[in-house]
Amino acid sequence: MDRKPIIEIKDLTFSYTTKTASEPAIRDINLTIYEGEYVALVGLNGSGKTTLQLCLNGVIPNMTGGDYIGTVMVEGKDTYDTPVREMAKTVGMVFDNPAFQMSQMFVAEEVALGMESLGVSHDEMHERVPKALQLVGLEGLEDRSPFELSGGQQQRLAIASALAMEPKILVMDEPTSNVDPIGKEEIFSVAEKLNRERNMTVVMAEHEVEVIAAYANRVVVMDKGRIVFNGTPQEVFSHVEDFHRMKLRLPQVTEFAYQLEKEGVANFHGVYPITLGEAETAFKDLLG
């Protein structure tokens, strides 16, 4: 059965109304995301990834001033005239620095905070809080202070707070940029589990291209506010020279395979391995 579109963006352009914003932050964006997809946004800082994500829950244009053209439909709702509070029931947002989002004395209170703003009953909260914490592997920490948690645990707590509102879409803006390698693995594992086991749509802006290659169904590359590539990881990461031009990282195995081809040692016909497993198979064939 074909999957249904859950996000449909048409002809979207947005400019911030600030003295320093001389060009649109995003321009001419057309993008459809389907239920259950794991979509990775890739691009340098300032390429428009965060702006695009803020359009998915209506923060832009409803809470951030600017010139807005186009439409963003999320599960049939136009984000332009749907309150952000209402969109939070469908779109859960997680940002790059979880500590800035923490405000409560206890972990359980932090998870419950968003539900309070939605008017969820206390009985329902008592059911949802432990479920959300279990999903991210933080069960048993309800009475711990959020500020006593590690960076990876804080980010998982931010994810739990979003999940407690039972969204269908999880939007994550560089969620591993302020955590150590162990914390990164924790966060990626949670996102992959939610996508695989709960069919949750994940939209993640991220620089860790090796993880993107392993987990994402689709990669969207942004440059100067525009979408320049949109396809499977295999398709997108094969544009090696374009990635070099945009100063974007490629998976190390992809870069290595490209260099081998460039030196005439191998010929991958422009389709390079993007994961260690693919590289192992490709290099075995080459040596064999």
**pLDDT average, residue stretch 16-30:** 84
User: Over 60: is that where the pLDDT of 19 sits?
Assistant: no
Task: Give tens-digit pLDDT for 149-202.
Answer: 888 888 888 888 888 888 999 999 988 877 778 778 888 888 898 899 999 999
Give the list of residues 6+ apart from residue 86 with CB closer than 8 angstroms, or none.
Answer: 77
Q: What amino acid occupies position 195?
A: N
Q: 179-185 contacts: CB < 8 A, separation 24 or more? A: 179/150, 179/151, 179/152, 179/155, 180/150, 180/151, 180/152, 182/152, 183/150, 183/151, 183/152, 183/153, 183/155, 184/152, 184/208, 184/211
d(CA 284, CA 288): 6
Report residue 27 as tokens. 């321009």
Closest C-alpha to 92, from 175, 176, 11: 175
282 vs 140: which has the higher pLDDT: 140
pLDDT band at 247 (very low <50, low <70, confident <90, very high): very high
pLDDT tens string 227-246? 999 999 999 999 999 999 99
Q: In the chain, which segments carry CATH 3.40.50.300?
A: 1-90+167-237
What's the confidence (pLDDT) of residue 230? 98
Q: What pLDDT score does 265 carry?
A: 82
Q: Considering the domain 1-90+167-237 in this protein, what is its CATH number? A: 3.40.50.300
Indicate whether 2 pLDDT > 90.
no
pLDDT tens per residue across span 94-114: 887 777 777 889 999 998 888
Taking residues 111-127, what's their average pLDDT? Answer: 84
Q: 10 Å Cβ neighbour count for 30?
A: 12
What pairing do the DSSP bridges indicate for beta strands 38-42 and 218-223?
Answer: parallel
- Tokens 């539900």 belong to 115
* Percent of the chain scoring above 90 in pLDDT: 53
pLDDT confidence of residue 1: 46
Q: What is the mean pLDDT of the chain?
A: 89
CA separation, residue 98 to residues 119, 120, 230 (Å): 24, 23, 29
Q: Are 37 and 20 in contact (CB under 8 A)?
A: no
